[in-house]
Structure 1
Amino acid sequence: MTATRSTTDLTTAATEGPHMLLDPGMDLTLRPMRYPHFYDRFRDAIKNTWTVEEVDLHSDLKDLQRLSPAERHLVSRLVAFFATGDTIVSNNLVLNLYQHVNSPEGRLYLSRQLFEEAVHVQFYLTLLDTYVPDEQERHEAFAAVENIPSIKHKAEFCFRWIDSVFELRSLTTREDRRAFLLNLICFAAVIEGLFFYGAFAYVYFLRSRGLLNGLASGTNWVFRDESMHMAFAFDVVDVVRAEEPDLFDDDLTARIRQMLVEGVDAEAQFADDLLGQGVAGLSTADMRSYLEHVADRRMQRLGLPPIFGSANPLAFMELQDVQELSNFFERRVSAYQVGVTGAVDLDEDF
């Protein structure tokens, strides 16, 4: 069974039933399955199980001693962002997404995603413990959302969208459903699909220079998980669009566009912080162009016109041999499937 299916197939069962995906309630009936594609996503995610213990970060310790002061600043800021980024995503899953996706098979996937976010948090905790031996420095990294302006700005962006639907206990009006869609799109397209993709680019830049291969190895697996998280979220958007096309009007499009613009600006501010001391081979201008390129890809996946028209200036993101990385700039892999047989086909355009 593969994960590739057309939008028509995604919604066939949904349109035949009496309920829609965002209708209030907590449907518990798995048979007949109304959204089988969500179950396919859950099964494919199980195939991608990995553990933090498989990642050898100690091989990076010598590299850390070789870094220039500017590169050490980059790595310090990067791990500070990682320290809390996935925890924010987990909070939104629990507080907002799970209760409103009225599909038992969809909630199966969200449960699996929550587990994966917990593994990512463990990975970043281990990363900090390995990279930062000083306990006070580790405490400061976990408090980055309060004391590092560029990270605080990104966190406030996230919290604003979490808070925008936090009081909604059921999606009873069209505006409620639009608010939920904006939250879902924000976390898929901006937070996971832009903030984390920008962070991963720094990791792969360092690896392109032969540095921190342990970090890059673990990041490969996180990256694959994040790609699948986006795929599921965009599946949900596709289903809602098919069931309730009137929700997708010019106003929603304008709000999504503004969200992506603000997201690029926030991540570009983070890039200015990371690269402000002058990192040879990676400029803030190139990072902004890359972020704009990624944002345009998110808009296109949503069926919306691109905003920036920027090309990808980071050749290492296209050319580097990242074996575990799935479907980024049209890559396909089958790495790190454990405990099951079969193949994963993640062939959708991110």
Structure 2
Amino acid sequence: MTTTQNTGLENTARKKALLDPGMDLTLRPMRYPLFYERFRDAIKNTWTVEEVDLHTDLADLNKLTDAERHLINRLVAFFATGDTIVANNLVLNLYEHVNAPEARLYLSRQLFEEAVHVQFYLTLLDTYLPDDKERAAAFAAVDNIPSIRDKAEFCFRWIDSIEHLNRLETKDDRRAFLLNLICFAACIEGLFFYGAFAYVYFLRSRGLLNGLASGTNWVFRDESMHMTFAFDVVDTVRREEPDLFDDELHAQVRQMLREAVDAEVQFAEDLLTGGVAGLTLSDMREYLQHVADRRLAALGLEPEYGSKNPFAFMELQDVQELSNFFERRVSAYQVAVTGTVNFDEDF
């Protein structure tokens, strides 16, 4: 009798899936130790806005051409609300439906990191745009600047797509959730933000705005880890419920990424409208397509564009620097934490 009861309990435990509705509170036995390791790794990546010296950029701002100044103004306008949108989706949608306490530990940490990013970009705007009217205009960019408004509307559409879901009861519910998760990982954090990082690192390759680039290094690592966790969730669901990943879902993911690339190319057209020496719209489009293909590969899908990375400053300069810098910072912040951190810069 005992054997039968135990077998029944084991079968029940095996059938419990990550997206099953509820509020699992049990950390032992731990169902998903990888998520807990992601949480521990994120703690090692702690940084504060006060460590970033943006005032070193003030002299550089006066050196910019009109076209470069337009690029920076548009870029900081996007930064003004970008991470707030991501944080809202995390609270409204992700935390509710990823039903494992170790995963929710990571999501709690991610929310903290999004708050630090919001503070960083607030400080950036206060430093770069001392005029109150200019700052107000930057924060209103989601309403007043078409290229930023279109990106924001893309985000809001996917937030709203599952706002009615209180429980993921059906396969259609779970597919809708997966699309939201993939959108924010692959398209928003993994494409919109990576496009923004490329502009920052391009300027640094010109010897400009090193303070902004320094802070971006830390944001970059956070965003890369957010993507990694989200793709871990997708991989876990694929193992548990492979029938969710049908041709229709794959087609929807491809369409979503195509729309994200189109929106980001439109943003690039706006940023580069004045003609920025050394940075062409063609190269930016190719870079965005390359990044989109990388996201598809992470999801186990074939590339859409077959584009290469045209930016040597991304492949040669920043990969090595970010890796080394990350290793140095880890030792400074490891307090009562053991283990190693594996970080793969995915440009």
TM-score normalized by the length of structure 2 = 0.93
Q: How has the CA–CA distance of structure 1 residues 17 and 349 changed in structure 2, closer, same or farther, with 3 Å as cutoff?
A: farther
- d(CA) in 2 for partners of 1:32 and 1:239? 17
Which secondary structure state, in structure 2, belongs to the residue aligned with residue 325 of structure 1? helix
Bigger Rg, which one: 2
Displacement of 1:336: 1.9
Residue 10 (structure 1) aligns with:
none
Pick the aligned partner of 1:179 from 176, 179, 196. 176
Residue 128 (structure 1) aligns with:
125
- d(CA) in 2 for partners of 1:106 and 1:301? 20
Residue 145 (structure 1) aligns with:
142
Does structure 2 conserve the Cα–Cα contact (< 8 Å) formed by 1:14 and 1:34? no
- d(CA) in 2 for partners of 1:191 and 1:336? 26
Residue 91 (structure 1) aligns with:
88
Residue 208 (structure 1) aligns with:
205
RMSD: 1.7
Does structure 2 conserve the Cα–Cα contact (< 8 Å) formed by 1:323 and 1:333? no
Which secondary structure state, in structure 2, belongs to the residue aligned with residue 308 of structure 1? coil
- d(CA) in 2 for partners of 1:253 and 1:51? 38
Query: Larger helix proportion, structure 1 or 2?
Result: 2
Does structure 1 conserve the Cα–Cα contact (< 8 Å) formed by 2:224 and 2:346? no
TM-score normalized by the length of structure 1 = 0.92
Q: Map residues 17-28 of structure 1 onto 2, 5 A cutoff.
A: 17-28=14-25
Residue 329 (structure 2) aligns with:
336
2:275 is equivalent to residue 251 of structure 1 = no
Q: How has the CA–CA distance of structure 1 residues 308 and 332 changed in structure 2, closer, same or farther, with 3 Å as cutoff?
A: farther
Residue 232 (structure 1) aligns with:
229
Aligned length: 334
Does structure 1 conserve the Cα–Cα contact (< 8 Å) formed by 2:36 and 2:103? yes
Does structure 1 conserve the Cα–Cα contact (< 8 Å) formed by 2:87 and 2:111? yes
- d(CA) in 2 for partners of 1:166 and 1:292? 30
Q: How has the CA–CA distance of structure 1 residues 347 and 149 changed in structure 2, closer, same or farther, with 3 Å as cutoff?
A: closer
- d(CA) in 2 for partners of 1:153 and 1:183? 17
- d(CA) in 2 for partners of 1:293 and 1:14? 43
Structure 1 residue runs without a partner (length 5+):
1-12
Which secondary structure state, in structure 2, belongs to the residue aligned with residue 336 of structure 1? helix
- d(CA) in 1 for partners of 2:315 and 2:325? 13
Pick the aligned partner of 2:58 from 36, 56, 61. 61
Residue 194 (structure 1) aligns with:
191
Does structure 1 conserve the Cα–Cα contact (< 8 Å) formed by 2:224 and 2:345? no
2:39 is equivalent to residue 31 of structure 1 = no
Displacement of 1:219: 0.1
2:299 is equivalent to residue 302 of structure 1 = yes
Displacement of 1:18: 3.3
2:90 is equivalent to residue 103 of structure 1 = no
- d(CA) in 2 for partners of 1:304 and 1:332? 32
Q: How has the CA–CA distance of structure 1 residues 57 and 14 changed in structure 2, closer, same or farther, with 3 Å as cutoff?
A: farther
Pick the aligned partner of 2:159 from 162, 171, 184. 162
- d(CA) in 2 for partners of 1:273 and 1:134? 22
The percent of aligned pairs where both chains have the same amino acid is: 77
Does structure 2 conserve the Cα–Cα contact (< 8 Å) formed by 1:220 and 1:324? no
- d(CA) in 1 for partners of 2:113 and 2:265? 27
Q: Which amino acid aligns with 2:131?
A: D
Displacement of 1:346: 2.1
Which secondary structure state, in structure 2, belongs to the residue aligned with residue 298 of structure 1? helix
- d(CA) in 2 for partners of 1:98 and 1:133? 37
Q: How has the CA–CA distance of structure 1 residues 14 and 283 changed in structure 2, closer, same or farther, with 3 Å as cutoff?
A: farther
- d(CA) in 2 for partners of 1:322 and 1:183? 29
Deviations 1:226-256 (A, max 9, x none): 0000000000000000000000000000000
Residue 342 (structure 2) aligns with:
345
Structure 2 residue runs without a partner (length 5+):
1-9
Does structure 2 conserve the Cα–Cα contact (< 8 Å) formed by 1:275 and 1:284? yes
Q: How has the CA–CA distance of structure 1 residues 249 and 15 changed in structure 2, closer, same or farther, with 3 Å as cutoff?
A: farther
Deviations 1:29-88 (A, max 9, x none): 111000010000000000000000000000000000000000000000000000000000
- d(CA) in 2 for partners of 1:277 and 1:302? 36
2:74 is equivalent to residue 77 of structure 1 = yes
Residue 48 (structure 2) aligns with:
51
Residue 8 (structure 1) aligns with:
none
Displacement of 1:348: 8.2
